[in-house]
Amino acid sequence: MLAFSLVVCIGLTYRVYTSSNLRYDRSKQIVKNKENIQGLKSEIKNIHSEIKESNSMDYVEQVAREDLGMVKPREIIFVDEGAKAPSQESQVEEGGK
């Protein structure tokens, strides 16, 4: 009878120990998920503001200049050939004024 009680006590102790470890792991995962949710909410907010901004002419001009390499009429572009990335390290100078 004593041996049976001892086995039951050890079994219950093991069960409580594993439950507490599982609860601790789950609480850490909940905290991590909440942080991820906050980060994603911030990212969504930034995307919404970028979408609103994309309707402006300033944004269209920025995309045309940076992504498509377009220039204004009578605008001269000087490229520093010694730079690491010439397409990104160009200097723009207004001409004809």
Block residue for tokens 């041996």: 3
pTM value?
A: 0.48
Per-residue pLDDT at 85: 57
* Token pair in block for residue 63: 């995309």
Residue ranges of domains in the chain: 2-55
Per-residue pLDDT at 71: 86
Dihedral over Cα of 81, 83, 88, 93: its sign: negative
* Token pair in block for residue 9: 């006590």
Q: Running along the chain, 97 residues long, what does each successive block of 10 average in pLDDT?
A: 90 92 95 97 94 85 86 84 60 44
End-to-end CA distance of the chain: 104
Residues 68, 88: Cα–Cα separation, whole Å = 12
